[in-house]
Chains A and B, each alone.
Chain A
Amino acid sequence: MFEYALSVIIFLPILTGLALLLFPLRGGVARAVGFIVSVIILFIGIELFLGFNGKSGMEYTEFHQWIPSLGVNYALGIDGISLLVMVAATFLFPMVFSIFKTRTKGFYGNLLLAQGAMLGAICSTDLILFYVFWEIMLLPIFFMIGIYGGDKRLSATLKLTIYTIAGSLLMLAAIIYVGTSYHEQFGKWSFNIADLQALSLSGGFAITAFLMFMVAFAIKIPLFPFHTWLPDGYTEAPTATTFILSAIMAKIGVYGVIRFVIPVFEVEFTRFAILFSLLGIAGMLYCGLAAIAQKDIKRLLAFSSASHMGIIALGVFCMNVQALSGCLFQIMAHATSTGVLFLFVGLMEERLGTRNIDDLGGIAYRAPIFATFFAIAMLASVGLPGTSGFIGEFLIILGAIKFNAFIGFLAGTTLIIGVCYMLWMFQRVFFEKGKERTESFADLNGMEILTFVPVILLIIGMGIFPQTFLEKIEPTAQQHVAQLTAVSASQIADTTVQNPGHTNHKN
């Protein structure tokens, strides 16, 4: 029955989104349609998650030929790496439709398009198909920020778009390089990631291609120093778009590194791992410090999101099972905590008309439920034990110490900055004296509570019963790391034995 489930979750939102854009509908109708579709996707997502056994590679696979002459296929599948990213992209969308009511149909259409394209990027196992969805998912973001964004939206959109497209076009060159190398080595065309694992690349072109891939993903994540589009982009975007960008799209960058870069470029990846993990830490540190200084609460969260992406990226570069599964777990945890924080800020902005921290204060007295929910999401984001954030960060730091004690130490201490700006912001916004504007702040209404409760429960549930999630991702993570270490060890052995014929005669 679930044979075509992945195609459905990709193309149902895309087609509905296009229909919303094409047919003249009222905003309310469009929102209802979008909500229904996203709930359908949510249920399929839950079914997929529960039905996933995690034992053997790709599940729910689909395969059709697309361009036979170049070996490009329509190939989909889900494994332990993509599972939680898929879950994040299917679980969180209904919230957006249920909270924000004041948008036009074009906005809701674009939201659905973005969801479909992102699910497509997450589920594809063919590099070209992945690239197609990767580029498509940028377009709705471009239009959403450009049409519905804040005052400085024009420069923010152009910056974001040209930055990302530059990265992805470089990645296209690298993808084609990988494909032609496969053609040279094996005599047939393929862009399927399972085939490409067999590829052995070396030399300057391999390193260039590796760096091109990394730049594309680093821009999307965003990894220091490619993060400069982020503060403007996140701040000027409408809340729902910021939510998509930070909760899901950034994660696809990390996911892309794990899925496509590690299996193909094992040697280069091992060689550059230290450098990139240092970049991750630099990003954590820099964006964390920048967050402290922000006056705009959304901008603060933008920097905080970038800072947290630093630690998630660090999890990838540590190359061991703990860090990798921690990273995959944290992908989901970060989406539920920081993503939801963006939604809360959007609600505050809608009710008060300001995002300036100085104008806010004393909200906790007016809106206790809202404050509680906000506190839970915030504490998850700083990694309090008992919440989802703790498990992921703990595993990543454990892995980082195993990888390199110094980097582990840096990562662990840098996390403290996160606590600083978050708690200080919470104090200024929710406690202290009430201001004029916050006097009439209304607490969450029934519908909003109903929307957020599942996510809040998910945050706590993931903190208390992490095994439910970890057991699905760990086998794949183990496999992935085993391959990486095996190949890189053999390569290192090869390079140390420069003179052939001397050492191999021992037996």
Chain B
Amino acid sequence: MHDFLSLLPLVIITTGAILLMLLSAFESTKVEIASYISMGFYGVAFFVQLLIGCGPETTIFSETFNGMLVANNFSMAACLVILGCGFFTAISSHSYFKVNRFCTLEYYSIMMFSVCGMMLLTLTHELISAFIAIEIMSLAIYILVGYERKNVKATEAILKYLILGAFAGAFYTMGAALIYGGVGSTKFVEIAATLNIDKTISPLLLGGGFFIIVALLFKIAAFPFHSWVIDVYDGASAPITGFMATALKTAAFALFANFLALHTTMHDGWVTFLFYLAVFTMFGGNLIAIGQDNIKRMLAASGIVHSGYLLIALVAMNAEQFSGSVIAYYLAAYAIGTLGIFASLSYLGGEGEKRANFADFKGLAKVHPYSAAAITVFLLSMAGIPPTAGFMGKFYVITSAFSAGHIALAVLGIISSILSMWYYLRLIVNMYFHEATDTFEVQGRPLATAGTFVLVFFVFAIALYPVVV
């Protein structure tokens, strides 16, 4: 019974996706209705996931699925984050498409399919099923990135992302094949069993691991595979950018962590490599972000920096007693901040996202004081200023790095967050310390405002009651 319960959120989301796809055949269904339906499904799935709670680690239907899917606390937390991302993205899409009218019903259906892929990715402990999950997720995301067909920037973004993503997929397959050649199985348990006997990583396993890690580094936008992220995030519509930055990263990091945690030898073998990647990712991201004038591009670059912090958590994690709580908490904190900003961008951006630069938001605090305050809270959370969730996340990451003895990495992480203060403060300075030149007209009463303020609540709630750790 517990097997089925663990799978239930995934089943709910899949049902929702198929339902929406069928509904889109009827001309009379309105896009707004579709957004409400998808919100409902995300909400129900979220609560089901929450109610199932932290059961013991279970291999779901070990007979039927041959031990490919494993549910544990980490997968539950990651699924909660992903479902939350889906829910709030649906809310901001609802407001976004009131102004930018190019949405059809399939949009919400495709988004739910991508969430299916992501949830599957957090559960999977096997390479081929992980590949299928990655592709379900990626195909849906490709379409969503280029959803605004008439926009040149979106077309450019989808082309870049599709070609590079296809490369990453090919690398992944290559890696899986090499590992299968070395171990004779693609299941994490059996790879771990082989490592238990050998005690060292064999050349085939090393090569395979390398290719898989390359593919994952591409998905999480880590150095040196980060340069696509700026253009793609900029080209996609604001809600989709927020969705990619949060949900996709959560899913990819879940697989990354599970893959590294499959055996201590595996983790130890890659620690030095990941150490340098983390450092370069943080500082490379900061250097890009400091130079940006466009908010979406800045957020894309700051997403790279946050991937760097998450890599610190991966370096510092203990593969023997892997709980993933630090990573899950950081992902949740980061997701709340990022979703919040994109939710507010979706109703403040205006038609065709005409307000996109720092300078366009001058004096926002005078016109929309509450929205400006909410954005400030999100920015402070991403910058890691207490008492926000972002501070707690950074605190856990740095503490775990110190405990694992990676003091240099922890200090470099701190220095990188000093650098990042610059571009987070810059938006706050623009919103508060200048006179308003724009009227910031907002059509009707967008639902995204409500979403924004709920997210502000969550920023403080999970900081003051850190339940996960």
> A residues engaging B (CB < 8 A)?
21, 67, 69-70, 128, 131-132, 135-136, 139, 143, 146-147, 153-154, 157-158, 161-162, 165-166, 169-170, 172-173, 176-177, 179-180, 183, 205
Residues in chain A near residue B425, CB distance under 8 A: 158, 161-162
| Interface residues of A, dominant DSSP | helix
On whether the beta carbons of A176 and B418 are closer than 8 Å, the reply is: no
Are the C-beta atoms of A136 and B386 separated by less than 8 Å? yes
Q: Are B410 and A132 in contact, with the CB atoms below 8 A?
A: no
Cβ of B387: which chain A residues have Cβ within 8 Å of it?
132, 136
A132-B391, A146-B429, A180-B402 known, 4 other contacts, Cβ within 8 Å: A136-B386, A177-B402, A177-B407, A183-B403
Residues of A within 8 A of B280 (CB): none
B365's closest neighbor in chain A, by CB?
A: A147
8 A-B interface contacts by CB (under 8 A): A70-B399, A146-B432, A165-B385, A169-B384, A173-B398, A177-B402, A179-B402, A183-B403
Q: How far is the CB of B363 from chain A (nearest CB, A)?
A: 11
Q: Which residues of A contact B422 (CB under 8 A)?
A: 162
- Looking at the assembled complex, report how far the CB atom of B24 sits from the nearest CB atom of chain A, in whole angstroms: 42
Q: Which residues of B contact A180 (CB under 8 A)?
A: 399, 402-403
CB contacts (< 8 Å) of A172 on chain B: these are: 395, 398, 414
CA distance A67 to B415 in the complex (A): 25
- Decide if B418 touches A67 in the complex (CB within 8 Å): no
The interface residues of chain B lying within 8 Å CB-to-CB of A170 are 414, 418
Q: Assess A176 versus B398: contact at CB under 8 Å? Given A161-B425, A166-B418.
A: yes
Q: Residue A67 contacts which of B386, B411, B421, B466 (CB distance < 8 angstroms)?
A: B466
A165 to B415 Cα, complex, angstroms: 11
Residues of A within 8 A of B429 (CB): 146, 154, 157-158
Closest B residue to A146 by CB, please name it: B433
Task: Quote the shortest CB–CB distance from B400 to chain A (angstroms).
Answer: 9
A139 near B385 with CB under 8 A, answer yes
User: 8 smallest A-B Cβ distances: which pairs?
Assistant: A132-B386, A180-B402, A146-B433, A173-B414, A166-B418, A135-B386, A169-B414, A176-B402
Q: Nearest chain-A residue to B373 (Cβ)?
A: A21
B469:A70 contact, CB within 8 angstroms: yes
Nearest chain A CB to B282's CB is how many angstroms away?
Answer: 13
CB distance from A13 to the nearest CB of B (A): 15
Given the interface contacts A67-B466, A143-B432, A173-B414, does A128 sit within 8 Å of B403 by beta carbon?
Answer: no
B469 touches A147 (CB 8 A): no
Q: Mark B397-441, 1 if CB is under 8 A from A, else 0.
A: 011001100010011001101100110010001001100000000
Determine the residue in chain A with the shortest Cβ distance to B386: A132
* Cβ-closest chain B residue relative to A132: B386
Query: With a CB–CB cut-off of 8 A, which chain B residues contact A146?
Result: 429, 432-433
Known: A128-B395, A154-B433. A173 touches B411 (CB 8 A): yes
Complex: how many Å from CA A21 to CA B469?
32
State in angstroms the CA–CA spacing of A169 and B413 once bound together.
Answer: 10
- Chain A residues with CB under 8 A of B380: 139
Q: Closest residue of chain B to A167, judged by CB?
A: B418
A136-B387, A139-B385, A166-B418 as given contacts; A176 in contact with B399, CB under 8 Å: yes
Q: Which residues on the B side are within 8 Å of A166 (C-beta)?
A: 418, 421
What is the CA–CA distance of A173 and B402 in the complex, to the nearest angstrom? 9
Closest to B469 in A: A69
Q: How far is the CA of A132 from the CA of B394 in the complex (A)?
A: 13
Taking a contact as CB atoms under 8 Å apart, the answer to whether A131 and B410 are in contact is: no
B399 touches A67 (CB 8 A): no
Beyond A153-B433, A157-B433, whether A169 also contacts B417 by CB under 8 A is: yes
Nearest-neighbor residue (CB-CB) of B399 within chain A: A176
Taking CB as reference atom, which chain B residue is nearest A173? B414
Instruction: Decide: A165 and B421 in contact? CB cutoff 8 A.
Output: yes
A180 to B400, CA, bound (A): 9
Q: Mark B356-398, 1 if CB is under 8 A from A, else 0.
A: 0000000000000000010000001000111100010001101
* Complex partner residue of B407 from A135, A158, A183, A205, CB under 8 angstroms: A205
A425, chain B: closest CB distance, angstroms: 32
User: B410, A173: Cβ atoms under 8 Å?
Assistant: yes
Chain B proximity of A480: nearest CB distance (Å): 27
Q: Which residues of B contact A173 (CB under 8 A)?
A: 398, 410-411, 414
Per a CB cutoff under 8 Å, which of B410, B418, B469 touches A165?
B418
Residues of B within 8 A of A158 (CB): 425, 429
